[in-house]
């Protein structure tokens, strides 16, 4: 077993799972402290690296795309202090960090883990029920229902509509975006039947606007808990499109029919007359078109009689 203990946290690897326990240092973000221990199965990993530094280095886990709902909804926008998959390493522990990297990489090679995208979530995500208050409101999620309540900072146009509550089955998308510079962040829920364009989070009754304070990243945990219980993006992308409706018989293109017995034939039809396999295939095709409703019973009988006359 490989293990590295730092003020930033403790990582252990038993050959199957990387266990991450956040430290209690002041540099550990509130999201990591709230999320607690994270168990990352080997099959969820795409790689691991150690980045040495002058005063301290960093261990980083790279997860497969689509394996973790938290990384799915944050899309690389998590602040450094909130990232559960990085560990600050003191320079005198660089050797231990490099040994940890070697152990995980060897296991990935031995197990031949596919580093490509995952079509399902491989981590359990944040536990529910979960409630977070930040920005202009509070979001609560119990695994089935999402509830939004407003506070005194909420724009009057949004607050006047009262609290919102909707079921998970009605949610089509959830997104989280952090505050950046003078731009506020948000957590937003897109419901079935919603218009293509949404109002700004300040006025959107299905969004909480975030002001850039300490608790903002916790809304990412809510978003991850909701996303985990929705269809995985890869599954949604792979869903087959509905089959096009069959054209009515009147609109079907005319099927070329063999000439009737005794009719003059060219070189091409003479060759076809001795090709019984081709005639049998034509019969099967006609039967399929008739069953699909493309050919009427009369059209099918006429075409069938013409082909049978060629044997």
- DSSP code string of 49-116: EEE--SSEEEEEEEEPTTS-HHHHHHTT---GGG-TTEEEEEGGGHHHHHHHHHHHHHHHHHTT---S
Q: For residue 238, what is the enclosing H or E element?
A: helix 233-238
Q: Where are the beta strands (DSSP E) in 151-291?
A: 164-167, 171-177, 185-191, 207-210
| pLDDT per residue as tens digits for the range 227-273 | 999 999 987 666 555 555 544 444 444 444 444 444 444 444 444 44
What is the reported pLDDT for 240? 58
Neighbours of 2 (CB within 10 A): 18
Predicted pLDDT of residue 297 = 77
Give the pLDDT mean for 197-223. 95
Model confidence pLDDT, tens digit, residues 51-88: 998 889 999 999 999 999 999 999 999 999 999 999 99
User: What percentage of the chain reaches a pLDDT higher than 90?
Assistant: 68
Mean pLDDT throughout 147-164?
Answer: 95
What pTM was computed for the model?
Answer: 0.74
What is the average per-residue pLDDT within 121-127?
95
Across the chain, mean pLDDT equals 86
The predicted pLDDT at position 24 comes to 87
Cα torsion at 172, 214, 77, 230 (round to 10°)? -20
> Is the pLDDT at 123 greater than 60, yes or no?
yes
Q: What is the CB-side half-sphere exposure of residue 140 using CA atoms within 13 A?
A: 9
**176: closest CA among 159, 192, 190, 155?**
190
H-helix or E-strand spanning residue 145: strand 145-150
pLDDT recorded at residue 165? 97
Let me know: does 3 contact 12? Beta carbons within 8 Å. Answer: yes
> In terms of pLDDT, which residue wins out, 201 or 291?
201
Per residue in 9-44, pLDDT (tens digit) is 999 999 999 999 999 888 899 999 999 999 999 999
CA angle 209, 211, 212 (to 5 degrees): 130
User: What pLDDT score was predicted for residue 301?
Assistant: 76
Whether omega before 129 lies within 30 degrees of 0, making that bond cis, reads yes
């Amino acid at each position: 077993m490989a293990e590295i203990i730092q003020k930033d946290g403790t990582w252990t690897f038993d050959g199957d799972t990387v266990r991450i326990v956040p430290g209690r240092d002041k540099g550990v973000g509130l999201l990591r402290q709230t999320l607690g221990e994270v168990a990352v199965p080997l099959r969820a990993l795409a790689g691991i690296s150690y980045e040495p530094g002058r005063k301290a280095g960093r261990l980083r886990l790279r997860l497969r795309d689509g394996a973790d709902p938290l990384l799915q909804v944050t899309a690389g926008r998590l602040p450094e202090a909130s990232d559960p998959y990085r560990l600050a390493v003191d320079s005198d522990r660089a050797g231990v960090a490099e040994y940890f990297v070697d152990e995980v990489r060897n296991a990935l090679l031995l197990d031949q883990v596919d580093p490509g995208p995952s079509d399902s979530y491989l981590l359990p995500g944040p536990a529910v029920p979960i409630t977070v208050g930040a920005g202009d409101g509070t979001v609560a999620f119990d695994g089935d229902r999402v509830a939004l309540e407003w506070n005194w900072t909420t724009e009057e146009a949004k607050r006047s509509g009262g609290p919102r509550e909707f079921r998970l089955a009605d949610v089509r998308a959830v997104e989280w975006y952090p505050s950046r510079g003078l731009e506020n962040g948000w957590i937003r829920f897109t419901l079935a039947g919603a218009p293509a364009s949404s109002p700004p989070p300040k006025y959107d009754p299905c969004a909480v606007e975030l002001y850039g304070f300490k608790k903002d990243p916790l809304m990412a945990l809510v978003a991850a808990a909701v996303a985990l219980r929705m269809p995985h993006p890869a599954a949604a992308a792979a869903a087959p499109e509905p089959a096009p409706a069959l054209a009515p018989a009147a609109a079907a293109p005319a099927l070329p029919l063999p000439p009737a017995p005794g009719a003059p034939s060219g070189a091409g039809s003479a060759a076809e007359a001795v090709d019984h396999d081709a005639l049998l295939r034509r019969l099967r095709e006609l039967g399929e078109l008739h069953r699909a409703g493309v050919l009427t019973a009369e059209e099918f009988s006429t075409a069938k009689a013409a082909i049978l006359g060629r044997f």
